[in-house]
Amino acid sequence: MIRGVRGAITVKEDNDGEIVSATERLLRQMIQENQISSNDVASIFISVTEDVSATFPAKAVRLIEGWTYVPVMCMTEIPVPSGLKKCIRVMMHVNTSRVQEEIIHTYLDGAEVLRPDLHTSKN
């Protein structure tokens, strides 16, 4: 069964270093908390708000050993005026036997407000 593992994080500045660093931290925590192997990942979608444009956050995936061949796509979020600013969201499609309620969704650095009902991360 393929399940979606969600995560989000915000950045203070729109620059290459902060975007990649924040995305890598988020991905690593999602991987650790859900015990995800790259071989079980079908794909990863990464979206950003319009104010995050200095680089592709997908570059962070390539910093994780063994994740070279995981398909990743970046896109821009719908610019809802009241939406959270400087936000990077991740949807990881994972082959797992876990039921929905067992998936740990990870929201960091202010992104917890997006889904407080799903924020089960141990951060």
The full set of domain ranges for the chain reads 2-114
Distance (Å, whole) CA 71 – CA 45: 9
Amino acid identity at 105: H
The catalytic site residues sit at 6, 62, 74, 77, 89, 107, 115
Question: pLDDT tens, 17-34?
Answer: 999 999 999 999 999 999
Residues 6-28: b if buried by 16+ CB within 10 A, e if exposed:
bbbbbbeeeeeebbbebbbbbbe
pLDDT score for 69? 95
Rounded mean pLDDT, 49-60: 97
Which architecture, in CATH terms, is 2-114?
2-Layer Sandwich (3.30)
Query: What pLDDT was estimated at residue 121?
Result: 54
Instruction: Report whether 53 contacts 14 (CB < 8 A).
Output: yes
**Given pLDDT bands bounded at 50, 70 and 90, which one contains residue 75?**
very high
What's the pTM? Answer: 0.93
